[in-house]
């Protein structure tokens, strides 16, 4: 009954390398809501040279999206295609194909069964033993627990937890290193935009989105994207690999607080002046000093003084080796 929107839709040329036949997608439940669309679970038969069916995530745009929103969505698709032409990386949500003809525009990406990293981290709070599932060698923990003394395994468990959290951090740095090497600036790197697949691999999502001024709007979890932004982005809308590095520092803080709310006591209108005074968040209790030092390097006021993602991969690798 609504006004037909056909005719006010951007023209999208067919790209045979990526076009996937709509009738080979079986759409299932909604996984999440985006800014102007939804993401649904689907099975795709014969996608990316696989013989059987594959679980995938399908992003589509709302029926009543404006022409501008549709153009944004097409831009996202083009970014995903251009990165896919260069290659895949295990730590990004890889693009698998799209349906652009005879119906709503759909973008098909890898499905990440365990949802977003922030919600996932929060589950570790009530079930500290969740960490053990990540550890190949849970025996190291079991053998350190004295059945007479329930506290005796705590030190081992904390060390295992730190190792797991460091490995999360390194995976995100690796995905960001790949994106940065391919001239892709994320602009909204946060734990809510990192997904976890069934094999516990972390994957950076939504790197193809153009973003314009939605940073002051709260996310569904009540987070304000400005709290992930460096001063030069807050003040000058200047986005570079190094502004993503600042956000990565906030992601490290989220990881080591198991999904904490950054700057929870600071109203967003005070954030800029506090940062300019040199205020930075404290060390989360779970974070080793060396990791807190890395966080603070990401939060250097001067973008050029912050490490790039290649260096962050090396730094985190070194910290992981030292834990082992
Ligand atoms: N929500 C949004 N994108 C998703 C994906 N690729 N996998 C699982 N849940 C999602």
Mutate to test the pocket of ligand 1, among 30, 31, 37, 221 (most ligand atoms within 8 A of CB): 31
Q: Is the CB of 96 under 6 A from ligand 1?
A: no
Length of the chain: 324
Does the structure show a pLDDT above 90 at 94? yes
67-82 pLDDT tens trace: 988 888 999 999 999 9
Question: Could you report the per-residue pLDDT of 248-289, keeping only the tens digit for each?
Answer: 999 999 999 999 999 999 998 999 999 999 999 999 999 999
Q: Please state, for a pLDDT cut of 70, what percent of the chain lies above it.
A: 90
Per-residue pLDDT at 134: 58
201 C-alpha to ligand 1 centroid (Å)? 13
Q: Is the CB of 251 under 6 A from ligand 1?
A: no
The ipTM (two decimal places) reads 0.96
Q: What is the pLDDT of residue 208?
A: 83
Give distance in angstroms: CA of 129 to centre of ligand 1: 26
Does 1 have pLDDT greater than 50? no
Please tell me the pTM assigned to this model.
Answer: 0.90
| Across 60-74, 94-108, 136-150, 213-227, least confident range | 136-150
Mean pLDDT of 227-246: 96
Q: Is the dihedral of CA 131, 172, 189, 68 positive or negative?
A: negative
- Is residue 209 within 6 Å of ligand 1 at its C-beta? no
Contacts of 285 (CB under 8 A, 6+ apart): none
Token pair of 106, please? 């759909």
Kindly tell me if the per-residue pLDDT of 139 is higher than 80.
Answer: no
pLDDT of the residue at 8 = 67
pLDDT band at 132 (very low <50, low <70, confident <90, very high): low
Q: Is 288 in the pocket of ligand 1 (CB under 6 A)?
A: no
CA dihedral (160, 166, 172, 177) positive or negative: negative
Please choose, from the candidates 119, 243, 102, the residue with its C-alpha nearest in 3D space to the C-alpha of residue 193.
Answer: 119
Band of residue 158 on the pLDDT scale cut at 50, 70, 90: confident
pLDDT score at 13: 80
Residue 46 has pLDDT above 70, yes or no: yes
Average pLDDT across the chain, whole number:
89
Q: Following CA atoms 80, 82, 85, 88 in sequence, which dihedral angle do they give, to the nearest 10 degrees?
A: -40
- Give distance in angstroms: CA of 274 to centre of ligand 1: 35
Q: Lowest-confidence range among 4-13, 193-202, 223-232, 284-293?
A: 4-13
Residue 93 beta carbon below 6 angstroms from any ligand 1 atom: yes
Residues annotated as part of the active site: 188
Percent of the chain at pLDDT > 90 equals 69
């Amino acid at each position: 009954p609504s006004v037909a929107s056909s005719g006010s839709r951007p023209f999208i040329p067919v790209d045979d390398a990526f076009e996937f036949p709509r009738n080979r997608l079986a759409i299932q439940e909604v996984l999440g809501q985006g800014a102007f669309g939804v993401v649904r679970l689907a099975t795709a038969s014969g996608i990316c040279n696989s013989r059987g069916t594959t679980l995938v995530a399908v992003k589509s745009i709302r029926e009543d999206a404006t022409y501008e929103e549709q153009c944004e969505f097409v831009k996202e698709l083009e970014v995903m295609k251009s990165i896919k032409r260069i290659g895949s990386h295990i730590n990004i949500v890889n693009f698998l194909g799209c349906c652009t003809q005879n119906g709503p525009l759909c973008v098909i990406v890898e499905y990440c069964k365990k949802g977003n990293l922030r919600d996932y981290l929060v589950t570790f709070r009530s079930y500290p033993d969740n960490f053990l599932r990540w550890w190949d060698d849970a025996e190291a923990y079991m053998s350190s627990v004295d059945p007479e003394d329930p506290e005796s395994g705590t030190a081992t468990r904390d060390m295992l937890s730190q190792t797991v959290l460091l490995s999360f951090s390194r995976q995100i740095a690796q995905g960001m290193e790949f994106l940065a090497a391919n001239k892709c600036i994320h602009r909204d790197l946060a734990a809510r935009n990192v997904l976890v697949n069934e094999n516990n691999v972390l994957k950076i999502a939504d790197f193809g989105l153009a973003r314009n001024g939605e940073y002051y709007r709260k996310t569904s979890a009540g987070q304000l994207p400005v709290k992930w932004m460096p001063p030069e982005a807050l003040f000058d809308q200047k986005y570079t690999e190094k502004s993503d590095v600042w956000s990565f520092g906030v992601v490290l803080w989220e990881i080591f607080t198991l999904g904490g709310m950054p700057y929870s006591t600071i109203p967003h209108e005070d954030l800029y002046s506090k940062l300019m005074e040199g205020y930075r968040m404290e060390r989360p209790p779970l974070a080793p000093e060396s990791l807190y030092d890395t966080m603070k390097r990401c939060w250097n006021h001067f973008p050029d003084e912050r490490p790039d993602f290649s260096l962050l991969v090396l730094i985190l690798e070194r910290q992981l080796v030292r834990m082992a």
